[in-house]
C-alpha cells in the first residue's frame, strides 16, 4: 500500500514536472543529418540521441534561461549522406528557418561541409560525430565537438604496448609497430596519432601500409606481419577493415601479442568471427560500463538502460556511442544556455567555449580550437566475446590479456 | 623505396612466401576468371559490355548472406540458390533494359549498364545497409579442418578458399560442357558467330540473348556466393569485380576461354605480388597497369600486321 502510494506520489511529481515543462517556451536548434544514404544507420543513431536528450531535459524541468524555462526542439533535414547537400541545407536552416544554434551532422565529412557555413553566419554549432583532426586546425570559432579527435583513437594502444614491454623487463623503445590504415582522412589521423606516440617512445615502425578503399583481402600485409613479427599491429579501415582483418588474422594464425583496431562493433566481429576476435583491442568514444555520471542522465549504465526503455529497436543490442555523444551535445547546449542567461548567439558561443562539465559521457571542456580535451579515448578488449574496458587504467574494469592467445 | 627493397628482400629470405603469394593469387584469380567468363559471353554473343557485372557478383553474395542469416541456410547451399535467384534477376534485367539497347550503338549499352550498376549498388545499400558482410564456412561437421597449415604455418589454406576454388572449377566445367554439347549452347555459339545467319536458320535469337544474359548473371551470382564465404562484400564493391573482369577479357581477347582462365589466374597472382612489393594500396593499380602493357603490346603487334597488308 505504502509502495503504491509512493509510486503514485512519484508519478504525480513527474507529471507536475512535465506540466511545468509543457508551459515552457521553445528554443529551436537546427540539424542536417544523414537519414538516408550510406550513413543512414549512424545518422538515425545520432537523431535518436538528440531526441532522447531533449526528452530527458524536458522531464527534468527544461532549460532555465534568465528565470524562464524553455524546451529544445530540433528542425531536421535529410542530407542524403552527401556533403554538398549538407552545406545547402545548413544555409537553408540559417537563412530561411532562421535557426540560431546548430547541431552537427553525422561523420567528419559532413561536418567539414557544414562548418564553413555556420562559421560564415557566426552560428554556434555543437557537433558530436565528426572526429577528424582537420576540423580543428582551420581556426573555426563557432565549432565545438564533444568527442575525442581521431588521432587519439589508437594512440593509447601504443602506450599500453610500451608498458607491457617494460613489465616484461625490456624497454618501451624495443617495441616494433606495424600500421595498416585506410587512405582516408579519418584513418590517416589515426596513423598520425600512432606514429607520433611511437616516435616519442622511440619505437620502430616496421610496417606502414595504406589499405585501399575497396579492401577485401589483406593477406599480403599479414604475411609480412608473420615474417617481421611486430609487437603491436594497428588496423583502421572502418568496418570493412575490421571485418577483413579479424577474419584473416584468424585464418593465418597471426600471433602478434597485441592487435588494436577501430570499428569492431560496427563490423560485429564477435558475432561474425567468434573466437578469432578474442583479445583484440578496440577503441571507443564511450562505453556503458564507464564510471561517468551527471544529474540529468545518471550514470553511463543508467543512460543505456533508460535509452533502451524509450527506443525498443535497441533492446537486443548495445546503445552505440554515436547516440551517447549526440545526447551529450544537447546537454552542453542546456548548460551553455543556462550559464549565458541570454538568447544572444554570441553570448551562447562564449558560454559554450567556457564549458567545463562532467557528464555521463565523460568530461567536457573545449580547447581553443573547439575539440573536447577532457575526455580520453577508451580501449576495450574482446574477452570471451565480451567488450571489457582495459585502458585508460583509471576507468578500466578488467585487466588486459597480454600476450593475446590465438 | 626502402620499404620496397625490404619487401623484395623478404621474398628472397623466405622463398616459401613466393608459393604462398602464388596460391593466394590463384585462389582469388579463379573467382575473377568466373566473372570475366560471363562478361566475355555477353560481350561475344550480344556485343553488350556489361558494366554491372560486379554488381551481379555482389548481388549473389547478398542472396547467400541474407538466406544464411534469415533462414539459416548453409553457406554452401547458398551457391546454387544464388545461381538460380541471380538467373531470375538477370532475366528481368534483360527484358526490362538490355533487350531495348541490344541493337543500339556501343554508348547506349554502356550508359544503360552503367546506370544499372549504380542502381543495383544503391538498391543493395537500401536493402542490406552499408556495412561489410561475410559468412563463415564451418566444415568441421564434415570431418574437415577449417584451416590447413604448411611450412611452419607460413602457408595457410582455409577450407573455404579450397572449396570456393573447387566450386568455381566445377561451375566453369559445367558451363563449358553446356556450351559445347547442348542445343542451347550450340545456338548461343551460332548467334555469336553471326546473329543474322542464325536467325535465318531458325534460331530464336531473342531467346538466345535472354538466356545468355541470365546465364551470365547466374554465374556472377554463384561467384558472389563463394566470395562472401572467403572475403567480404559491401554494396559498393561491385566496381572492383567489374574492373577486373574487363581487364581479364580485354587482355585475353574475346572468345578465348583458356585465355580468360589463364589471364584471371595470372592477374590474381600479379596483384598479390604487386601488393606484397609495392604495398596493398597499389593492388588494383597493378591490374590496370598490366592491361595497359597488354594493350600496348597488341597495338604494336597489329601495327606490324597492318604494314604487311600494305
The set of cell numbers assigned to B42 is 555477353
Please check whether residues A278 and A384 belong to one and the same domain: yes
Sorted by sequence, the CB contacts under 8 Å of residue B149 that are 6+ apart come out as A253, B155, B156, B157
Q: Which range is most confident: A12-21, B148-157, B203-212?
A: B203-212
Residues B99, B102, B108, B113: is their CA dihedral positive or negative? positive
Q: What length is written for chain B?
A: 310
- The residues with which A127 forms a beta bridge, in sequence order, are A145
Sorted by sequence, the CB contacts under 8 Å of residue B18 that are 6+ apart come out as B11
- Report chain A residues whose CB lies below 8 A from the CB of B15: none
Mutate to test the interface with B, among A34, A210, A217 (most CBs of B within 10 A): A217
A59-111 per-position pLDDT tens digit: 999 999 988 999 999 999 999 888 899 999 999 999 999 999 999 999 888 99
CATH code (residue A61)? 3.40.50.2300
Confidence of residue B308 (pLDDT cuts 50, 70, 90): low
Which pLDDT value is given to residue B11?
83
Please check whether residues A123 and A105 belong to one and the same domain: yes
- Phi then psi for residue A216, to 5 deg, are -140, 0
CB proximity under 8 Å: B 85-114 to A: none
Please check whether residues A235 and A331 belong to one and the same domain: no
Q: Do B231 and A244 touch (CB under 8 A)?
A: yes
Please check whether residues A6 and A66 belong to one and the same domain: yes
- Report chain A residues whose CB lies below 8 A from the CB of B232: 216, 240, 243-244, 247
Q: How far apart are CA B66 and CA B58, in angstroms?
A: 12
Residue with cell 604455418: B153
pLDDT of B29 > 70? The answer is yes
Q: Do B154 and A218 touch (CB under 8 A)?
A: no
In a domain, A51, yes or no: yes
Give the least confident one: B101-105, B150-154, B264-268.
B150-154
Give the least confident one: A9-23, A136-150, A190-204, A260-274.
A9-23
Q: Do A214 and B236 touch (CB under 8 A)?
A: yes
- Helix spans in A291-364 (H): 300-310, 321-340, 345-353
Is residue B21 a contact partner of residue A220, using CB atoms and an 8 Å limit? yes
Q: How far is CA B152 from CA A184, A187, B16, B17, in A?
A: 36, 33, 10, 11
Q: How far is CA A48 from CA A33, A43, A302, A325, in A?
A: 11, 9, 16, 11
- Report chain B residues whose CB lies below 8 A from the CB of A266: 131
Q: What length is written for chain A?
A: 406
Q: Do B280 and A272 touch (CB under 8 A)?
A: no
Give ∠ CA A90-A297-A399 in degrees, rounded to 5: 105
Please check whether residues A43 and A118 belong to one and the same domain: yes
Which pLDDT value is given to residue A1?
44
Is residue B156 a contact partner of residue B21, using CB atoms and an 8 Å limit? no
The better pLDDT of the pair A326, B172 is held by A326
Q: How far is CA A350 from CA A128, A339, A373, A382, in A?
A: 19, 10, 17, 41
Which pLDDT value is given to residue A393?
76
- Report chain A residues whose CB lies below 8 A from the CB of B236: 38, 214
- Phi then psi for residue A67, to 5 deg, are 85, -15
Tell me the three-class secondary structure of chain B, residue by residue. Answer: CHHHHHHHHHHHHCCHHHHHHHHHHHHHHHHHHHHHHHHHHHHHHHCCCCCCHHHHHHHHHHHHHHHHHHCCCCHHHHHHHHHHHHHHHHHHHHHHHHHHHCCCCHHHHHHHHHHHHHHHHHHHHHHHCCCCECCCCCCHHHCCCCEEEECCCCEEEEHHHHHHHHHHHHHHHHHHHHHHHCHHHHHHHHHHHCHHHHHHCCCCHHHHHHHHHHHHHHHHHHHHHHHHHHCCECHHHHHHHHHHHHHHHHHHCCCCHHHHHHHHHHHHHHHHHHHHHHCHHHHHHHHHHHHHHHHHHHHHHHHHHHHHHC
Instruction: Give me chain B's average pLDDT, please.
Output: 89
Please check whether residues A264 and A322 belong to one and the same domain: no
| H/E element, A233 | strand A232-236
Q: How far apart are CA A386 and CA A392, in angstroms?
A: 18
Confidence of residue B304 (pLDDT cuts 50, 70, 90): confident
Q: How far apart are CA B171 and CA B110, in angstroms?
A: 28
Among A210, A219, A240, select the one facing B234 at the smallest CB separation: A240
Instruction: Give me chain A's average pLDDT, please.
Output: 89
Chain A: nearest CA to B258, how far in angstroms?
26
In a domain, A199, yes or no: yes
Question: HSE (CB half, 13 Å, CA atoms) of B62?
Answer: 24
- Report chain A residues whose CB lies below 8 A from the CB of B280: 180, 209-212, 215, 218, 220-221
Please check whether residues A246 and A339 belong to one and the same domain: no
Q: How far apart are CA B299 and CA B250, in angstroms?
A: 13
Please check whether residues A391 and A247 belong to one and the same domain: yes
Q: How far apart are CA B107 and CA B104, in angstroms?
A: 8
B199-222 per-position pLDDT tens digit: 999 999 999 999 999 999 999 999
The set of cell numbers assigned to A392 is 585508460
Q: Do A244 and B280 touch (CB under 8 A)?
A: no
The set of cell numbers assigned to A400 is 588486459
What value does the mean pLDDT take over residues A231-259?
Answer: 90
Residue with cell 529497436: A313
The better pLDDT of the pair B15, A119 is held by A119
Q: Do A214 and B136 touch (CB under 8 A)?
A: no
Q: How far apart are CA A257 and CA A279, in angstroms?
A: 9
Among A38, A212, A217, select the one facing B281 at the smallest CB separation: A212
B239 lies within 8 A of chain A by CB: yes
In a domain, A179, yes or no: yes
| H/E element, A19 | helix A2-22
Chain B: nearest CA to A135, how far in angstroms?
25
Q: Do A267 and B283 touch (CB under 8 A)?
A: no
Please check whether residues A143 and A159 belong to one and the same domain: no
Q: Do A227 and B125 touch (CB under 8 A)?
A: no
Q: How far is CA B110 from CA A90, B220, B260, in A?
A: 37, 19, 22
In a domain, A402, yes or no: no
Please check whether residues A308 and A337 belong to one and the same domain: yes
Please check whether residues A43 and A99 belong to one and the same domain: yes
Please check whether residues A229 and A261 belong to one and the same domain: yes
B85-142 per-position pLDDT tens digit: 999 999 999 999 999 998 888 889 999 999 999 999 989 988 988 778 888 888 887 7
Q: How far apart are CA A389 and CA A394, in angstroms?
A: 10
Is residue B51 a contact partner of residue B110, using CB atoms and an 8 Å limit? yes
Among A209, A217, A223, select the one facing B28 at the smallest CB separation: A217
Among A209, A217, A266, select the one facing B281 at the smallest CB separation: A209
Q: How far apart are CA B31 and CA B81, in angstroms?
A: 18
Is residue A402 a contact partner of residue A258, using CB atoms and an 8 Å limit? yes
User: What are the boundaries of each domain within chain B?
Assistant: 2-309
- Report chain A residues whose CB lies below 8 A from the CB of B14: 227
Under CATH, which number does the domain B2-309 receive?
1.10.3470
Q: ipTM score of the complex? A: 0.83
Chain B: nearest CA to A395, how far in angstroms?
30
In a domain, A56, yes or no: yes
Q: How far is CA B182 from CA A25, B174, B188, B217, in A?
A: 78, 11, 10, 19
Is residue A189 a contact partner of residue A215, using CB atoms and an 8 Å limit? no
Q: How far apart are CA A256 and CA A244, in angstroms?
A: 16
Strands (E), A79-213: 101-103, 125-127, 143-145, 176-182, 204-211
Which pLDDT value is given to residue B307?
64
Residue with cell 535472354: B210
| H/E element, B46 | helix B16-46
A386 burial type by CB count under 10 A (0-12 exposed, 13-18 middle, 19+ buried): exposed
- Report chain B residues whose CB lies below 8 A from the CB of A38: 125, 130, 236
Q: Are strands A378-383 and A281-284 parallel, antiparallel or unpaired?
A: antiparallel
Mutate to test the interface with A, among B232, B278, B285 (most CBs of A within 10 A): B232
Instruction: Look at chain A and report how many structural domains it folds into.
Output: 2
Mutate to test the interface with B, among A81, A219, A262 (most CBs of B within 10 A): A219
Q: How many CB pairs under 8 A join A and B?
A: 100
B134 lies within 8 A of chain A by CB: yes
Q: How far is CA B145 from CA A244, A248, A251, A254, B79, in A?
A: 21, 16, 11, 18, 21
Interface of A with B (CB under 8 A): 37-41, 180, 183, 208-212, 214-221, 223-224, 226-228, 239-240, 243-244, 247, 251-253, 266-268, 272-274
Rounded to whole angstroms, the maximal C-alpha distance in chain B is 67
Q: Do A221 and B280 touch (CB under 8 A)?
A: yes
Pick the residue from chain A with its C-alpha nearest to B268: A217
Confidence of residue B309 (pLDDT cuts 50, 70, 90): low
Range of the domain at A141: 2-148+288-365
Q: Do B154 and A214 touch (CB under 8 A)?
A: no
In a domain, A228, yes or no: yes
B236 lies within 8 A of chain A by CB: yes
Amino acid at each position: 500500500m505504502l509502495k503504491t502510494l509512493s509510486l503514485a506520489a512519484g508519478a504525480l511529481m513527474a507529471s507536475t514536472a512535465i506540466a511545468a515543462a509543457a508551459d515552457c517556451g521553445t528554443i529551436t536548434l537546427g540539424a542536417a543529418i544523414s537519414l538516408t544514404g550510406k550513413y543512414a544507420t549512424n545518422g538515425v543513431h545520432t537523431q535518436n540521441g538528440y531526441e532522447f536528450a531533449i526528452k530527458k531535459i524536458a522531464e527534468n524541468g527544461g532549460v532555465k534561461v534568465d528565470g524562464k524555462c524553455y524546451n529544445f526542439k530540433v528542425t531536421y533535414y535529410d542530407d542524403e549522406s552527401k556533403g554538398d547537400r549538407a552545406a545547402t541545407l545548413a544555409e537553408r536552416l540559417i537563412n530561411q528557418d532562421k535557426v540560431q544554434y546548430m547541431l552537427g551532422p553525422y561523420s567528419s565529412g559532413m561536418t567539414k561541409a557544414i562548418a564553413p557555413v555556420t562559421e560564415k553566419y557566426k552560428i554556434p554549432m555543437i557537433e558530436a560525430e565528426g572526429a577528424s583532426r582537420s576540423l580543428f586546425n582551420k581556426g573555426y570559432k563557432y565549432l565545438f565537438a564533444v568527442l575525442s579527435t581521431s588521432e587519439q583513437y589508437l594512440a593509447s594502444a601504443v602506450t599500453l604496448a610500451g608498458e607491457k614491454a617494460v613489465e616484461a623487463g625490456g624497454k618501451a623503445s624495443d617495441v616494433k609497430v606495424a600500421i595498416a590504415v585506410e587512405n582516408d582522412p579519418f584513418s590517416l589521423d589515426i596513423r598520425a596519432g600512432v606514429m607520433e606516440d611511437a616516435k616519442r617512445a622511440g619505437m620502430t615502425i616496421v610496417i606502414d601500409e595504406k589499405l585501399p578503399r575497396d579492401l577485401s583481402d589483406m593477406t599480403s600485409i599479414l604475411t609480412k606481419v608473420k615474417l617481421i613479427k611486430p609487437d603491436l599491429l594497428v588496423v583502421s579501415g572502418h568496418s570493412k577493415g575490421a571485418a577483413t582483418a579479424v577474419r584473416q588474422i584468424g585464418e593465418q594464425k597471426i600471433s602478434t601479442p597485441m592487435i588494436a583496431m577501430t570499428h569492431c562493433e560496427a563490423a560485429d566481429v564477435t558475432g561474425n568471427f567468434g573466437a578469432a576476435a578474442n583479445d583484440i583491442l578496440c577503441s571507443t568514444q564511450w562505453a556503458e560500463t564507464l564510471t561517468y555520471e551527471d544529474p540529468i542522465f545518471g550514470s553511463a549504465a543508467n543512460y543505456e538502460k533508460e535509452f533502451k526503455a524509450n527506443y525498443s529497436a535497441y533492446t537486443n543490442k548495445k546503445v552505440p556511442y554515436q547516440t551517447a555523444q549526440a545526447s551529450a551535445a544537447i546537454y552542453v547546449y542546456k548548460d551553455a544556455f543556462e550559464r549565458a542567461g541570454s538568447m544572444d548567439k554570441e553570448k551562447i558561443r562564449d558560454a559554450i567555449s567556457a564549458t567545463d562539465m562532467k557528464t555521463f559521457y565523460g568530461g567536457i571542456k573545449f580547447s581553443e580550437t573547439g575539440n573536447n580535451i577532457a575526455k580520453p579515448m577508451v580501449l576495450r578488449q574482446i574477452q570471451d566475446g565480451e567488450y571489457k574496458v582495459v585502458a585508460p587504467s583509471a576507468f578500466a574494469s578488467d585487466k588486459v590479456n597480454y600476450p593475446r592467445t590465438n | 623505396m626502402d620499404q620496397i627493397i625490404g619487401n623484395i628482400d623478404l621474398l628472397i629470405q623466405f622463398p616459401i612466401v613466393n608459393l604462398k603469394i602464388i596460391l593466394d593469387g590463384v585462389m582469388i584469380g579463379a573467382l575473377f576468371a568466373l566473372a570475366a567468363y560471363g562478361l566475355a559471353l555477353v560481350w561475344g554473343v550480344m556485343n553488350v559490355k556489361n558494366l554491372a557485372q560486379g554488381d551481379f557478383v555482389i548481388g549473389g553474395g547478398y542472396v547467400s548472406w541474407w538466406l544464411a542469416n534469415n533462414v539459416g541456410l548453409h553457406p554452401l547451399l547458398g551457391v546454387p540458390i544464388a545461381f538460380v535467384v541471380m538467373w531470375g534477376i538477370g532475366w528481368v534485367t534483360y527484358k526490362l533494359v538490355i533487350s531495348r539497347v541490344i541493337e543500339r550503338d556501343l554508348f547506349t549499352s554502356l550508359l544503360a549498364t552503367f546506370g544499372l550498376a549504380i542502381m543495383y549498388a544503391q538498391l543493395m545499400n537500401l536493402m542490406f545497409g552499408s556495412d561489410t558482410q561475410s559468412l563463415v564456412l564451418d566444415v568441421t561437421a564434415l570431418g574437415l579442418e577449417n584451416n590447413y597449415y604448411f611450412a611452419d604455418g607460413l602457408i595457410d589454406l582455409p577450407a573455404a578458399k579450397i572449396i570456393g576454388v573447387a566450386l568455381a572449377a566445377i561451375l566453369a566445367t559445367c558451363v563449358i560442357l553446356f556450351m559445347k554439347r547442348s542445343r542451347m549452347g550450340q545456338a548461343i555459339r551460332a548467334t555469336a558467330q553471326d546473329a543474322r545467319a542464325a536467325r535465318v536458320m531458325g534460331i530464336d535469337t531473342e531467346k538466345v540473348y535472354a538466356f545468355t544474359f541470365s546465364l551470365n548473371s547466374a554465374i556472377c551470382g554463384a561467384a558472389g556466393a563463394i566470395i562472401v564465404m572467403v572475403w567480404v562484400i559491401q554494396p559498393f564493391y561491385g566496381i572492383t569485380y567489374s574492373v577486373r573482369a574487363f581487364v581479364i577479357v580485354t587482355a585475353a581477347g574475346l572468345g578465348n576461354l583458356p585465355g580468360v582462365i589463364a589471364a584471371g589466374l595470372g592477374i590474381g597472382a600479379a596483384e598479390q605480388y604487386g601488393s606484397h612489393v609495392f604495398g596493398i594500396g597499389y593492388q588494383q593499380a597493378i591490374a590496370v597497369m598490366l592491361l595497359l602493357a597488354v594493350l600496348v603490346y597488341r597495338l604494336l603487334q597489329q601495327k606490324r600486321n597492318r604494314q604487311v597488308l600494305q
